[in-house]
């Protein structure tokens, strides 16, 4: 095992890799409860989603660890699950069964373009500034969803939105959780998001036992902590049986958007973590093909299990910071996700008020990409701003991406920098020109 994962080459050992694997799991364990909450808004079975989330994370992470030998974990992606729920199902009115079929098709395309290395070509053609703007925009969108779910932000007929009632139990619980999570993270505690959720959930249970609970998101006290693994039956295989539903241009747009949005998550994360772990060689990613294949394969597997697209998690950097350098730490993380499937009763105490702080903090972390955008150059700043702003303002990740990729070639051409544009960017320009009228319907 030590030889396969090249422990000596990376100066590591079983103990260090195990600690790193545990650290990564704790840093991203919140997805076990957040993903069912987000996707549950589509009326999918939340208990089945809990199992699908854990199982897809375990399988994807295991593939990444064994095939690519990277200390990187995979799970259903934040941003991608929000797009699935709030843009595709709720916003566009597409049944979740059809949307999950779209994820499957996107995953299959991912596998094919990863095998033929087309994915790498396209990723390299997208300007770094637009990649950063996309990440930051998704972060703002996720934070906005968290603020809405907790009722910190509510509807207003005149101004569209306003701050909610600070006398609401749910709002106060979310604010408490947010403060606790911030304290953990600022103090540098690994897994601070997860621990923040635990503290907030406990506080919610105490309030419920005292008869004080949020009517919109009531706490259900479980009879036990450990139970048998919830059945996948309500969602398993739905992606395959509804493939025939992908029969309109509108749904083709959905598939392509899953494909596009998922394009950058893994690539950016892999580069960042590989650099942190000292894996990069000559500024190139060793075994990149295997890593991208593991990522794309996990999307296909996850869709069959019944969850939104999976992606590499930036929280893996917590494990790398703890000493993780090889795929063995990913194997440890995968095993912990498998064990986590026995703790589904905890879903009853993890309400939207408890997960909202995690969504807001994830938004903060993703918005950090803002600092690397070249704001002093208007030809870049304008399309970047439109990409970022239009995601939360239109409640659509796709619209933000489309507007950014339409305006970028125009501003660059007017500025006289047309030669800097890769031919692929003009192809995307035409595609999104076609997309925009569809998105506006």
Q: What is the DSSP string of 278-303?
A: T--BTTB-TTHHHHHHHHHHHHHHHH
Sign of CA dihedral 423, 289, 107, 132: negative
pLDDT of 265: 62
144 with 278, same domain: the answer is yes
C-alpha distances out from residue 87 to 140, 215, 258, Å: 15, 26, 11
In a domain, 305, yes or no: yes
305 with 439, same domain: the answer is no
pLDDT of 388: 93
In a domain, 307, yes or no: yes
339 with 388, same domain: the answer is no
Sign of CA dihedral 266, 354, 20, 327: negative
Give the residue numbers spanning the domain of 439: 374-441
pLDDT of 290: 87
Q: Residue 62: which residues within 8 A CB-CB, separation 6 or more?
A: 330, 331, 334
In a domain, 358, yes or no: no
Structure tokens, 351:
């309400």
Structure tokens, 34:
């957040």
338 with 404, same domain: the answer is no
Q: Kind and range of the H or E element at 436?
A: helix 423-439
- Number of domains forming the structure of the chain: 2
In a domain, 170, yes or no: no
Measured between alpha carbons, how far is 399 from 114 in angstroms, rounded to an integer?
26
pLDDT of 62: 97
- Among 326, 345, 364, where does a domain finish? 345
322 with 379, same domain: the answer is no
In a domain, 91, yes or no: yes
Measured between alpha carbons, how far is 72 from 60 in angstroms, rounded to an integer?
10
63 with 144, same domain: the answer is yes
Low-confidence spans in the chain with pLDDT less than 70: 120, 123-124, 190, 216, 260-261, 263-269, 271-272, 275-276, 280, 282-284, 438-441
Q: Kind and range of the H or E element at 131?
A: helix 128-149
330 with 382, same domain: the answer is no
In a domain, 199, yes or no: no
340 with 389, same domain: the answer is no
pLDDT of 335: 97
In a domain, 202, yes or no: no
146 with 291, same domain: the answer is yes
pLDDT of 329: 95
44 with 104, same domain: the answer is yes
235 with 108, same domain: the answer is yes
414 with 304, same domain: the answer is no
In a domain, 213, yes or no: no
Crossing angle of helices 397-414 and 128-149, in 10° steps, is: 150
């Amino acid at each position: 095992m030590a030889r396969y994962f090249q422990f000596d080459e990376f100066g590591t050992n079983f103990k260090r890799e195990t600690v790193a694997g545990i650290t990564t799991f704790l840093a991203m364990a919140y997805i076990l409860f957040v993903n069912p909450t987000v996707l549950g808004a589509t009326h999918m079975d939340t208990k089945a989603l809990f199992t699908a989330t854990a199982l897809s994370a375990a399988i994807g992470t295991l593939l990444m660890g064994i095939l690519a030998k990277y200390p990187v974990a995979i799970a259903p992606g934040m941003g991608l699950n929000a797009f699935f729920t709030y843009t595709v199902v709720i916003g566009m009115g597409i049944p979740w069964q059809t949307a999950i079929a779209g994820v499957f098709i996107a995953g299959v395309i991912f596998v094919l373009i990863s095998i033929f290395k087309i994915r790498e070509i396209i990723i390299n053609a997208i300007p770094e500034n637009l990649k950063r703007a996309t990440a930051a925009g998704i972060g703002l969108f996720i934070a906005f969803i968290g603020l809405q779910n907790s009722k910190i932000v509510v509807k207003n007929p005149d101004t569209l939105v306003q701050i909610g009632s600070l006398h609401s139990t749910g709002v106060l619980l979310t604010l408490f959780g947010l403060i606790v999570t911030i304290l953990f993270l600022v103090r540098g505690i690994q897994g601070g998001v997860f621990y923040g959720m635990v503290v907030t959930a406990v506080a919610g249970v105490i309030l419920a036992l005292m008869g004080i609970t949020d009517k919109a998101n009531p706490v259900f006290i479980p009879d036990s902590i450990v139970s048998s693994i919830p059945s996948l039956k309500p969602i398993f295989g739905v992606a395959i049986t509804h493939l025939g539903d992908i029969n309109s241009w509108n749904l083709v747009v959905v598939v392509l958007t899953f494909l596009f949005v998922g394009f950058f998550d893994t690539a950016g994360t892999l580069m960042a973590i590989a650099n942190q772990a000292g894996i990069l060689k000559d500024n190139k990613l060793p075994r990149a093909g295997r890593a991208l294949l593991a990522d794309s394969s996990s999307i296909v597997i996850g869709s069959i299990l019944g969850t939104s697209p999976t992606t590499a998690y930036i929280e893996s950097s917590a494990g790398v910071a703890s000493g993780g350098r090889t795929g063995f730490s990913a194997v440890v993380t995968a095993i912990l996700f498998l064990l986590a499937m026995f703790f589904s009763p905890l879903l009853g105490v993890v309400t939207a008020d408890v997960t909202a702080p995690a969504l807001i903090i994830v938004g903060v972390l993703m918005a950090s990409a803002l600092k690397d955008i070249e704001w002093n150059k208007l030809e870049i700043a304008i399309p970047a701003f439109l990409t970022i702003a239009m995601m939360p303002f239109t409640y659509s990740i796709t619209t933000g991406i489309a507007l950014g990729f339409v305006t970028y070639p125009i501003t660059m051409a007017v500025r006289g920098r047309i030669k800097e544009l890769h031919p692929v960017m003009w192809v995307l320009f035409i595609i999104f020109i076609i997309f925009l009228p569809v998105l506006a319907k």
